[in-house]
Structure 1
Amino acid sequence: MVGASCLMPATALAQEASIEDRLDRLEALVSGLVERLDAQQDIDAQQQADIAATADLVMAETTQMRGEQADLAAQVETVSEEQDRDGFGIGNTRFTLGGYVKLDALSLRTSGGQLPDGSITRDFLIPGAIPVGGEASGWDTDFSARQTRVTFGTSTDVGTGTPLRSHIEIDFMVTPGGDERISNSYEPRLRQAYLTYGDWLLGQTWSTFQNVGALPESMDFIGTTPGTVFDRQPMVRYTNGGLQVAVEQPETVVTTPTGGRLLAGDDTMPDVVVRYNYAGDGVSLTAAGIVRSLNIADDDFGMGDDSALGYGLSLSGRIGIGERDDFRFMGTVGDGLGRYIGLNIVNDAALDLDGNLDPIFTYSGFAAFRHFWDDNLRSTIAGSYFRADNPVMLTGNQVTDESWNAFVNLVYSPVSRLDVGIEYMYAERQLEDGRSGNLQKIQLSTRYAF
């Protein structure tokens, strides 16, 4: 259907040209009939009546065709307006461009140490990076437009009645570039790149284990980070109604015997996700399960090869309250889920003295309530929590035991697609040895979506 709409102007113009040719022929016929009436004065009345009736029929058809021509012209104009608004067509492909421009102005302080200037740990909340054990910092202020995002999409009519679509998305977060001293230039990064055809998706996008639709509105990049499943990666996904099944990129993250972090890179089986989505009566719910094969090889630690089973379950959703308010939530539990939760707060597994993998059990979740004060003003209050059952004898006591955060914001939309918001956030991290550190942040954001 998308391809057909892209071809509509060309088809309509061709039909319009055909009508013009027919009109010219009909008008020539009418002129000939009139000349015959004038020339044949001796023709009987009945013949004149027949000729006149024929002329009337021809003129009626001409008038009808003039109307069809006007309708086609209007149709061409309408389709052109839709293409201007929703993209443009070249051949049988439609192209679209979207995204947003965002400015963040934030000031933060930490109780357990100074976050480095220019570090991504000052751009948004990364729970595992909240300093612990150091001197309290002052309030540090940063301005950034790095979250600005551009999306590019295509939809092609391949002649089967099912369009072939693609989606590419970039922003400038978590990338190197110019410093705050002169240029503030940052390199673009690939966020998403995938194609869809019918029930199939192939490429890089949000993990099927994550429900993006449940995330609350926040000025921070993620918001309820400690309690959130958050991961983008390449995959092959099949969707049938509310059911989704995907095989996704594997990656085992291990805590070494010295307490460090190792990306083993020896994975042989993809992560497998099964998910079901339900929507109805102002409620949308998602249940997802994941199974993982965690792997290391002898060349990682020189202690032989080993594998372990990782798994997890997550329930999330959004529940409408009243006309516009909503409640959002997520709860996740599992063994060996480290890199999927809270931006890898803890690792997937630890290594015991025999060279065997010991998956780390975690549970996490968040809850958020959004209220509309009026058509242009709204607020969200939210909180999230994470806890890990670390095998301390293997990981040591300097790893994260738990983390939580809470925030409240106020967002004003003076015009369509423009949001101005202010938010206060408090976050805390505690180590296995009992020490803790906190982070406070005040953030003002302006975002224009196009």
Structure 2
Amino acid sequence: MTASFSQPLIASEYHFGGFLKANARFVDGNIAYQDSWTGGGSIAEPAKRTQFSAAESRFNVGVTHGGVKGFAEIDFSGSAQGNAAFSNSYSPRLRHAYISYEGLTAGQTWSTMVNTSTFAETADLGVPLAGQTMVRQALVRYSTDNWQFALENPYTYGTQAGSTEAVIKWVDTSNDYIPDAVIRYNQQGDWGNVSVSSLFRYLDPEDSAQFGAGVSVAAKLKTFGKDDIRLQLHYGNLGRYVGTDAARDMINGVIEQTTSAMFAYRHFWTERTRSSVFYGHTITKEEQTDRFHAGVNVFTNLTPVLALGFEVGRYQIDDEHNPYTHAPSPQGGSNYAQLSLQFHI
């Protein structure tokens, strides 16, 4: 006698989301034009430029099957295949692709150093990047109660000893073999939330065996009515984790030390209309970078799913000395204005 058993079928749940976003952006200054300000950039001849774009539009899908959850998201930023003379095509760019099961998360998503609730609401994508954590990468993370423990993709971004301005020797990443480790503690309540994260790293280019560590505090705090304060503070050997190219992991073979801060205050004028004022700043010890981004905006919901925003701000580079020549570095800044229309799907 034979018998067969089959488990009850469990239906998968699918959730689709994202947004369509149209931008009109004007930049005036001597920092080379960027679609959105990162903590990088270079000094150029003064120029004025206006660009329209829809490349920040984003699509995602979430799937739940029993206790297993999956999520994937794409957008089109920074992936141009064409140009204004030919097609204006943009390739899909993977942002997130991860699996979650019983507290375990594996795949590509926000680094455990990132507290997304503390991001300011801005028209310029993700700003002020010059003073905040903004890293997505492959990782394995375990979450339990208020704690998170993660091993994340190792990567050393920087320059080797003996680099000069004429010949910059980038760090050989073929010797990145110890994952970065992050421990994070979260606390939340009716007052908002706060997270404290610690990063531990082992950087071994050219068998230099250097250990790095850093700490990050991020918080979103409710104030009056629907208003809130959002802030981040970062210190230590954080390198590529903070400032989005404002800091590297190593300079001339020496591990970098970074100090960063971000602050934003959001005020609701009415139920539909609100403004944010924000400021982000990063300084480094070895490369002596000094970059900040400040701005103010106003958003209003034309409908529950359609928001119109206008923002003005300034991004500035006040680097001290070139780490290879020790001569004063070029300095400058650019002002910008941006209008955005965003339709949430």
Q: TM-score, normalised by structure 2?
A: 0.91
1:447 — aligned with what? 342
> What is the aligned partner in structure 2 of residue 108 from structure 1?
27
Match of 2:271 in 1: 375
Does the CA contact (< 8 Å) of 2:236 and 2:259 recur in 1? yes
1:240-277 CA-partner distances (Å, limit 9, x unpaired): 01100000000011223124362422111100000011
- 2:152 counterpart residue number: 248
Letter paired with 1:362: T
Q: Structure 2: give runs of 5+ residues left out of the alignment.
A: 1-7, 322-327
| Residue of structure 1 equivalent to 2:305 | 417
Q: Deviations over 1:110-136 (max 9, x none)?
A: 225xx3xxxxx521002321x32x431
1:338 maps to 2:242:
no
Q: Give the structure with the larger helix fraction.
A: 1
The list of structure 1 runs, each at least 4 consecutive aligned residues, that deviate by more than 4 angstroms after superposition, is none
2:215 to 280, 288, 313: 313
Following superposition, the deviation at residue 109 of structure 1 comes to 1.5
In the alignment, the residues of structure 1 paired with residue 288 and residue 169 of structure 2 have an alpha-carbon distance, to the nearest angstrom, of 13
2:324 corresponds to which residue?
none
Work out whether residues 159 and 171 of structure 2, in 8 Å CA contact, stay in contact via their aligned partners in 1: no
Bigger radius of gyration among the two:
1
Is residue 46 of structure 2 the alignment partner of residue 136 of structure 1?
yes
- AA in 1 matched with 2:269: W
Q: Conserved in 1, the CA contact under 8 Å of 2:131 and 2:281?
A: yes
Instruction: Report the identity percentage.
Output: 29
Which of 192, 196, 215 matches 1:287? Answer: 196
Residues of 2 paired with 1:261 and 1:98: CA distance? 43
Q: Separation in 1 of the partners of 2:139 and 2:289?
A: 31
Asked if the contact 1:372/1:379 (under 8 Å) is kept, the reply is yes
Unaligned runs of 5+ in 1: 1-10, 12-89, 116-120, 158-162, 298-304, 352-356, 391-398
Aligned-CA RMSD value = 1.6
> What secondary structure is seen at the aligned counterpart in 1 of 2:45?
coil
Secondary structure of 2:304's partner? coil
User: 1:306, 1:263 → 2: CA distance?
Assistant: 11
CA shift for structure 1 position 434: 5.0
| Corresponding position: 1:97 with 2:16 | yes
Aligned amino acid, residue 248 of structure 1: E
Residues 291 and 312 of structure 1 are in contact (CA less than 8 Å); yes or no, is this contact kept in structure 2? Answer: yes
Partner of 2:64: 155
Counterpart of 2:172 in structure 1 is 264
- For 1:30-49, list aligned pairs within 5 A: none
Contact 1:319-1:327 at 8 Å conserved across structures: yes
Name the TM-score, length of structure 1 as normaliser. Answer: 0.70
C-alpha distance in 1 between matches for 2:289 and 2:37: 17
How many residue pairs get matched?
Answer: 326
Q: CA deviation at 1:327?
A: 0.5
Distance in 2 separating the partners of 1:224 and 1:425: 10
Deviations 1:62-100 (A, max 9, x none): xxxxxxxxxxxxxxxxxxxxxxxxxxxx95211121110
* Counterpart position of 2:139: 235
Q: Distance in 2 between matches of 1:313 and 1:223?
A: 21
Q: Which moved more, 1:171-180 or 1:309-318?
A: 171-180
